Amino acid sequence: MSPAVLHTSAALREIEQRAALRFGDPFELMRRAGRAAWQAVMQHWPHAQSLLVICGPGNNGGDGYVLATLARASGRRVQVCCLPDHEPRTDECRRARQEYVDAGGELVAGDGALPAADLLVDALFGIGLTRELQGPVAALVERINALSAPVLALDVPSGVVADTGSVGSVAVMADLTLEFIAAKAGLRTGGARDFTGGLHVADLGLEPTDLRSAQADVAWLRAPDLAHWLRPRRRDSHKGSNGRLLCIGGDHGHGGAIMLAAEAALRAGSGLVDVVTREAHVAPLLTRLPEAMVHGDSDGEDNSNSNGDSGGTASSGLDSLISDASAIVIGPGLGQGAWGRERLRAICASGLPVVLDADALNLIAAGVVAAPANAVLTPHPGEAARLLQTGITEVQRDRFAAARAIASRYQAVVVFKGAGTIVSEPCGNLSLIDAGNPGMAVGGMGDVLSGVIGALLAQGLPLRDAAVCGALLHSVAADSAAADGGERGLLPSDLMCWLRCHANRGAR
Ligand SMILES: NC(=O)C1=CN([C@@H]2O[C@H](COP(=O)(O)OP(=O)(O)OC[C@H]3O[C@@H](n4cnc5c(N)ncnc54)[C@H](O)[C@@H]3O)[C@@H](O)[C@H]2O)[C@@H](O)CC1
Ligand SMILES: [K+]
């Protein structure tokens, strides 16, 4: 089965043009869009007796006029509101408005007070938005958002950039966004997530074969996709056949981070987990996680303690742990001091698949250590900005472009965390993780993610698959944990039992 994909505006325009040619009438798709919108109104707001439809000058506005005509014909009280300089600018929009007016439809000026209605329909701008909303348009959107009636956005909430999910000064806050033809990548990441409300797709009767385009699309990963990677274990498997992950981190004062990564790795199925950390963290780590093999480094020199038999970790001890490992996670609580730097250098020379997180990313961004081959980088927006020597606002403005730029610059698979996590391969192929919730915005959540991805690398998944599957597993586990007790106050530790549960979903 080919994976689901998310589309860009360029792809949608290509698809629309081909479909219009096939239908022999450029108005047919708009007619279908308006009809789909009316069906959505009847399905979601069956008791709405009055509608206020706010129409812009392009084809998004045209969709609004078609909907208004249908709602009127069904006996609803309908008013269409439009700004003075939003007279139709396309043939289709002109035709849709004419049909509405010919049927006796009422128009009200959009620069005055908005009339009350049971439902607002946002048909101002769709994929044709070219700039930030300003002046009278921005004021109109602010008045829409101030009303208490629910809002249905057609195709895109006006003010949100469909390709990037970025939001300018203001945008319509919708309760539901009805996307036409196919799902859009930008509506599922970054700022857009606060404006779309629920997302529904109306395919307008196009077949999957109509949805091909020459444009690159984005792989769309949702919970059921986990089964693709998380196959049942072999019946005769033993701990050695499920990988050995080496987790390195936890300089003074940051012992919890590597503890979370190690526990998550065991819950995500790594057969064995070694931890290299500071001596002071050995006892608490073993108390919480006796399954881990913990190797402690004492201050200032290379001596170490170990509950195993591998000796010190700064030189020969670390070499021996590396040679036993199938994959490595380095960074959680690593710090940027000599202890962390030395270990990062040793890891980068190993050639093993490695997850770099937190201070490992900061050290690479600062040029202290060169990024290794075979790496998965897991930056949050602050780390992404440092890796690109730019600001957080810039990387968040186009998260897809930022993920691609990091992957290309460091020749690594990148998991760009945040609402709507994005995975980019060095070649630029993108995936979007359509799961997760704001409860994940808490310290330690990224440490869990690095442990999960490390565990999947240790179990033999290639870099991109481990990154995508790991990010999805992490988010799906967080969704289960949030469903269990709410988002606020969710702790990374709460994910552990859900990681195990979902890591076995594919096996059922
Ligand atoms: N092309 C097609 O075949 C179809 C298009 N459909 C609809 O058409 C939409 C795209 O239509 P358009 O390409 O006409 O674009 P839009 O209707 O999204 O908006 C374009 C118009 O808005 C103006 N504009 C853009 N940004 C602005 C800003 N910040 N402030 C003020 N004015 C601004 C532009 O100058 C242009 O006149 C889709 O989102 C969808 O809703 C649907 O009817 C389905 C079929
Ligand atoms: K809209």
pLDDT value for 309: 36
The angle formed by the CA atoms of residues 423, 159 and 379, to the nearest 5 degrees, is 25
Residue 29 to residue 27: CA distance in whole angstroms: 6
Q: Name the H helices within 24-149.
A: 28-44, 59-73, 91-102, 135-146
CB 358, CB 329: distance < 8 Å: no
Q: DSSP characters for 265-291?
A: HHHTT-SEEEEEEEGGGHHHHHHH-TT
ipTM score of the complex? 0.97
Per DSSP, the residues of 184-218 read BGGGGSGGGGGTS-EEEEE-TT--GGGG--SS--E
Measure 115 CA to ligand 2 centroid, in angstroms: 19
Its sign, for the CA torsion 479, 480, 483, 488, is negative
Q: Is 90 labeled as ligand-binding? A: no
Instruction: Evaluate whether 129 touches 162 at the Cβ level (below 8 Å).
Output: yes
pLDDT score, position 306 = 42
Query: From ligand 2's centre to the CA of 154, what distance in Å?
Result: 4
Distance (Å, whole) CA 23 – CA 21: 5
Provide the pLDDT for residue 506.
Answer: 57
> Which pair of tokens denotes residue 204?
């307008």
Side by side, the strands of the sheet bearing 106-109 are 106-109, 77-82, 50-55, 119-123, 151-154, 176-180, 198-202
pLDDT at 235: 86
pLDDT of residue 302: 40
Residue 209 is labelled as binding a ligand: no
Question: Per the annotation, does 145 bind a ligand?
Answer: no
Q: How far is the CA of 99 from the centre of ligand 1 (A)?
A: 19
Q: Find out whether 8 and 185 touch, Cβ atoms under 8 Å.
A: yes
Which portions of the chain are predicted below pLDDT 50? 301-312, 507-508
Bridge partners of 430?
218, 424
Copy the structure tokens of residue 437: 């919730």
CA 242 to ligand 1 centroid distance, Å: 52
Position 80 scores a pLDDT of 98
Residues with C-beta less than 6 Å from any ligand 1 atom: 16, 20, 29-30, 33, 56-63, 89-90, 125-131, 133, 137, 154-156, 180
> Nearest ligand to the C-alpha of residue 19?
1
Asked whether the CA dihedral 203, 204, 205, 210 is positive or negative, the reply is: negative
Domains, the chain? 5-215 (3.40.50.10260), 224-507 (3.40.1190.20)
163-187: b (≥16 Cβ within 10 Å) or e? bbbbbbebbbbbbbbbbbbbbbbbb
Confidence at residue 423, expressed as pLDDT on a 0 to 100 scale:
98
Distance, in Å, from the CA atom of 212 to the CA atom of 207, rounded to the nearest integer, reads 10
Residue 2 has a pLDDT of: 64
The pLDDT score that the predictor gives to residue 314 is: 57
334-355 pLDDT tens trace = 999 999 999 999 999 999 999 9
Q: What is the DSSP string of 339-386?
A: HHHHHHHHHHTT-S-EEE-HHHHHHHHTTSSPPPSSEEE---HHHHHH
Question: What is the rounded distance in angstroms from the CA atom of residue 496 to the CA atom of residue 507?
Answer: 18
Amino acid in the structure at residue 432: L
Closest CA to 381 of 419, 355, 347: 419
Residues 6 or more apart in contact with residue 341 via CB below 8 angstroms: 363, 368, 369
Q: Cα-flanking dihedrals φ and ψ of residue 179, to 5°? A: -85, 135
